Amino acid sequence: MAVANNELEKVIIQSIMEELAKKGLLSQKGKDHVMSAAMMDTPIVPSTDSEEMVTFPPQEEMQVANPFNADAVRAMKKLTPARIGIGRAGTRPKTMSLLRFLADHAVAQDAVFLDVSEEFLQRMNLMSVQSAAASKDEFLQRPDLGRRLSEEAVKTISEKCEKNVQVQILIVDGLSSSSIEANIPDLLPALMQGLKSAGIKVGAPFFIKNGRVWVQDHVASIVNCDVVISLIGERPGLGTAESLSAYMIYRPDSNTVEADRTVISNIHKGGIPPAEAGAHLVDVLQQILAAKASGVKLNQQK
């Protein structure tokens, strides 16, 4: 069965490469490079030669031949990143539509499986700890482990983090490492500066690897903060793999439920811009501190 699957993969790769070559999107040299790698079962290394790069048409470009109402399709495409008006070849998607889908799917998978780089954490001056999930596979298969800290993380936070602050900020990879590296450089400074200007005492932000939303409750029990906010990577989709959410909760305890959390989601360049989100989160945190409540309880006081 493994041999059959391998042969099938080679046939698919050959078919795609031939289509790209026909459309002038891949040189013969590039085709030979990919096919030789496939035949030898070695990783395909992207070429830096621009003529071998696949370039996709703009998402808003009309790809339906002779549409009944072209203006309506164009108007809809401007309002959504959804894959509409992409046309078809018989009963199948067009080659470029399929390749774009595969490329976006690969980006989404990378966002989930890759780690936030050590270079990024050092550049942002973020201390790093880990949840009880020791690996990425364990994190994905055991959500409960991502909701609590490892023993080493508990020890590190207890020793190094300031206690009894008003707000504790957490950076959590969640389901998208890409969202962390794309948004935190603009979001975190705006958030920190805004809280400082408002006279709010903030604990030093730190990073939690393989963390889920509820890990913030464990952190709050250690540092005894009034509010804990987690800036966490959202589950990536084919539209974007860089979306971030901010979960905030006032003094969580053993009776905390999801309705007690206030959430601002869709933070990314195509949604709420990260710098703008930072300023907005300052306002929300001020409301939570004033009301001494978050989630549904906060909304009921408005």
Give all strands (DSSP E) within 165-261, no chain letters: 167-172, 202-209, 227-233, 244-250
Rounded to whole angstroms, how far apart are CA atoms 172 and 209?
6
User: Is 234 assigned to a binding site?
Assistant: yes
Rounded to whole angstroms, how far apart are CA atoms 62 and 67?
9
Please tell me whether residue 208 adopts helix, strand or coil conformation: strand
Rounded to whole angstroms, how far apart are CA atoms 222 and 160?
11
Rounded to whole angstroms, how far apart are CA atoms 82 and 79?
9
Q: For helices 215-223 and 151-160, what crossing angle results, to 10°?
A: 40
User: Is 219 assigned to a binding site?
Assistant: no
Beta bridge partners of 203: 168
| The residue count for the chain | 302
One-letter amino acid of 144:
D
Phi then psi for residue 41, to 5 deg, are 60, 40
Binding-site annotation: residue ranges for adenosylcob(III)alamin: 213, 234
Residues flagged as binding site: 213, 234
